[in-house]
Amino acid sequence: MTDETAFLVDFLPVIRRSLTRTGFQVDHVQYYGDALKPFIGRREQLERFVLRRDPRDISRIWVLDPDSGEYMQVPYRTWSRPAISVWEQTAAVARLREQGRCEVDEDALFAMVEQMRHITDTATKSSRKARRDGQRRRNNTPPRPSPYPVVPLPPADTVSRSVKPFEVTEQW
Protein backbone atom coordinates (compact mmCIF):
# COMPACT_ATOMS: atom_id res chain seq x y z
CA MET A 1 0.00 0.00 0.00
CA THR A 2 1.36 3.44 -0.91
CA ASP A 3 2.03 6.03 1.76
CA GLU A 4 -0.82 8.24 0.50
CA THR A 5 -3.31 5.37 0.71
CA ALA A 6 -2.04 4.34 4.15
CA PHE A 7 -2.43 7.92 5.32
CA LEU A 8 -6.02 8.02 4.02
CA VAL A 9 -6.88 4.64 5.58
CA ASP A 10 -5.61 5.74 8.98
CA PHE A 11 -8.31 8.44 9.11
CA LEU A 12 -11.25 6.32 7.96
CA PRO A 13 -13.94 5.21 10.43
CA VAL A 14 -13.29 1.90 12.21
CA ILE A 15 -15.70 -1.04 12.14
CA ARG A 16 -15.08 -4.32 14.00
CA ARG A 17 -16.43 -7.56 12.52
CA SER A 18 -15.87 -11.28 12.83
CA LEU A 19 -14.75 -13.19 9.76
CA THR A 20 -17.12 -15.82 8.32
CA ARG A 21 -16.60 -18.43 5.61
CA THR A 22 -17.98 -15.96 3.08
CA GLY A 23 -15.96 -12.94 4.25
CA PHE A 24 -17.30 -9.90 6.05
CA GLN A 25 -20.78 -8.42 6.10
CA VAL A 26 -21.07 -4.71 6.80
CA ASP A 27 -24.46 -2.98 6.60
CA HIS A 28 -26.10 -5.67 4.43
CA VAL A 29 -23.14 -5.78 1.98
CA GLN A 30 -20.80 -8.77 1.64
CA TYR A 31 -17.03 -8.30 1.18
CA TYR A 32 -14.65 -11.05 0.15
CA GLY A 33 -11.19 -11.32 -1.38
CA ASP A 34 -8.52 -13.96 -1.86
CA ALA A 35 -6.38 -12.21 0.75
CA LEU A 36 -8.83 -13.49 3.40
CA LYS A 37 -8.32 -17.20 2.58
CA PRO A 38 -5.45 -17.76 5.06
CA PHE A 39 -7.60 -16.37 7.88
CA ILE A 40 -10.83 -18.22 7.10
CA GLY A 41 -9.41 -21.58 8.20
CA ARG A 42 -8.44 -20.27 11.62
CA ARG A 43 -11.24 -17.74 12.09
CA GLU A 44 -12.37 -19.31 15.39
CA GLN A 45 -8.99 -18.54 16.98
CA LEU A 46 -8.91 -14.96 15.70
CA GLU A 47 -10.61 -12.05 17.38
CA ARG A 48 -12.80 -9.57 15.57
CA PHE A 49 -11.02 -7.82 12.72
CA VAL A 50 -10.50 -4.08 12.43
CA LEU A 51 -12.11 -2.83 9.21
CA ARG A 52 -11.98 0.63 7.72
CA ARG A 53 -14.37 1.92 5.09
CA ASP A 54 -14.48 5.17 3.11
CA PRO A 55 -17.98 6.66 3.56
CA ARG A 56 -17.83 8.15 0.04
CA ASP A 57 -17.24 4.77 -1.64
CA ILE A 58 -18.15 1.55 0.17
CA SER A 59 -17.16 -0.71 -2.75
CA ARG A 60 -14.12 -1.83 -0.77
CA ILE A 61 -12.94 -2.06 2.79
CA TRP A 62 -9.49 -2.19 4.29
CA VAL A 63 -8.89 -5.07 6.71
CA LEU A 64 -6.09 -4.97 9.28
CA ASP A 65 -3.98 -8.11 8.93
CA PRO A 66 -3.62 -9.48 12.49
CA ASP A 67 -0.24 -11.05 11.67
CA SER A 68 1.61 -8.29 9.82
CA GLY A 69 -0.32 -5.23 11.04
CA GLU A 70 -0.81 -3.99 7.45
CA TYR A 71 -4.10 -3.18 5.76
CA MET A 72 -5.44 -5.38 2.94
CA GLN A 73 -7.96 -4.08 0.44
CA VAL A 74 -11.06 -6.29 0.17
CA PRO A 75 -13.74 -5.56 -2.50
CA TYR A 76 -17.44 -6.41 -2.70
CA ARG A 77 -18.04 -10.14 -2.92
CA THR A 78 -20.01 -9.46 -6.12
CA TRP A 79 -17.79 -7.31 -8.32
CA SER A 80 -20.61 -6.24 -10.64
CA ARG A 81 -22.17 -4.03 -7.96
CA PRO A 82 -21.80 -0.26 -8.44
CA ALA A 83 -19.80 1.87 -6.03
CA ILE A 84 -22.15 3.67 -3.64
CA SER A 85 -21.76 5.94 -0.66
CA VAL A 86 -22.85 5.32 2.92
CA TRP A 87 -25.51 8.00 2.42
CA GLU A 88 -27.00 6.13 -0.56
CA GLN A 89 -26.87 2.84 1.33
CA THR A 90 -28.61 4.32 4.38
CA ALA A 91 -31.28 5.99 2.24
CA ALA A 92 -31.91 2.74 0.34
CA VAL A 93 -32.32 0.76 3.58
CA ALA A 94 -34.71 3.41 4.94
CA ARG A 95 -36.73 3.30 1.70
CA LEU A 96 -36.93 -0.50 1.86
CA ARG A 97 -38.12 -0.31 5.47
CA GLU A 98 -40.79 2.23 4.42
CA GLN A 99 -42.00 -0.31 1.89
CA GLY A 100 -42.50 -2.81 4.70
CA ARG A 101 -39.41 -4.97 4.19
CA CYS A 102 -38.29 -6.24 7.59
CA GLU A 103 -35.31 -8.16 6.14
CA VAL A 104 -32.97 -6.29 3.81
CA ASP A 105 -30.71 -8.35 1.57
CA GLU A 106 -27.90 -7.20 -0.68
CA ASP A 107 -29.86 -7.69 -3.93
CA ALA A 108 -32.80 -5.60 -2.70
CA LEU A 109 -30.41 -2.94 -1.40
CA PHE A 110 -28.62 -2.47 -4.72
CA ALA A 111 -31.89 -2.65 -6.67
CA MET A 112 -33.23 0.19 -4.51
CA VAL A 113 -30.03 2.22 -5.02
CA GLU A 114 -30.40 1.74 -8.79
CA GLN A 115 -34.06 2.81 -8.60
CA MET A 116 -33.18 5.90 -6.55
CA ARG A 117 -30.43 6.86 -9.02
CA HIS A 118 -32.85 6.43 -11.92
CA ILE A 119 -35.41 8.70 -10.22
CA THR A 120 -32.73 11.32 -9.59
CA ASP A 121 -31.47 11.19 -13.18
CA THR A 122 -34.99 11.43 -14.57
CA ALA A 123 -35.84 14.37 -12.32
CA THR A 124 -32.63 16.14 -13.29
CA LYS A 125 -33.28 15.64 -17.00
CA SER A 126 -36.91 16.69 -16.74
CA SER A 127 -35.96 19.74 -14.71
CA ARG A 128 -33.32 20.66 -17.28
CA LYS A 129 -35.87 20.09 -20.05
CA ALA A 130 -38.46 22.20 -18.22
CA ARG A 131 -35.96 25.05 -17.87
CA ARG A 132 -35.05 24.84 -21.57
CA ASP A 133 -38.71 24.78 -22.61
CA GLY A 134 -39.46 27.80 -20.42
CA GLN A 135 -36.55 29.68 -21.94
CA ARG A 136 -37.76 28.80 -25.44
CA ARG A 137 -41.25 30.05 -24.60
CA ARG A 138 -39.84 33.32 -23.27
CA ASN A 139 -37.67 33.76 -26.37
CA ASN A 140 -40.50 33.01 -28.79
CA THR A 141 -43.20 35.22 -27.28
CA PRO A 142 -43.42 38.74 -28.70
CA PRO A 143 -42.55 41.52 -26.28
CA ARG A 144 -45.49 43.21 -24.61
CA PRO A 145 -45.96 46.91 -25.34
CA SER A 146 -44.67 49.20 -22.65
CA PRO A 147 -47.31 51.19 -20.72
CA TYR A 148 -44.99 54.24 -20.86
CA PRO A 149 -44.66 56.31 -24.03
CA VAL A 150 -41.32 56.16 -25.77
CA VAL A 151 -39.79 59.60 -26.28
CA PRO A 152 -37.15 59.69 -29.00
CA LEU A 153 -33.86 61.34 -28.07
CA PRO A 154 -32.47 64.12 -30.24
CA PRO A 155 -29.51 63.22 -32.43
CA ALA A 156 -26.16 63.33 -30.64
CA ASP A 157 -24.69 66.05 -32.86
CA THR A 158 -27.45 68.55 -31.94
CA VAL A 159 -26.96 68.27 -28.19
CA SER A 160 -24.93 71.14 -26.74
CA ARG A 161 -21.60 70.00 -25.35
CA SER A 162 -21.25 72.95 -22.99
CA VAL A 163 -22.83 72.23 -19.67
CA LYS A 164 -22.91 75.05 -17.15
CA PRO A 165 -22.87 74.42 -13.41
CA PHE A 166 -25.73 75.52 -11.22
CA GLU A 167 -25.55 79.18 -10.56
CA VAL A 168 -27.58 79.20 -7.39
CA THR A 169 -27.21 76.37 -4.93
CA GLU A 170 -29.30 76.20 -1.82
CA GLN A 171 -27.27 75.68 1.36
CA TRP A 172 -28.71 73.63 4.23
Q: pLDDT tens, 46-77?
A: 889 999 999 999 999 999 988 888 899 999 99
* Mean per-residue pLDDT, 80-89: 92
pTM, full prediction: 0.69
Q: How far is CA 170 from CA 20, 101, 158, 166, in A?
A: 93, 82, 31, 10
pLDDT digits (tens, 9 = 90+) for 105-133: 999 999 999 999 898 888 877 788 777 77
User: Domain coordinates of the chain in residue numbers?
Assistant: 3-81, 84-135
- In this structure, the number of other CB atoms found within 10 A of the CB of residue 53 comes to 21
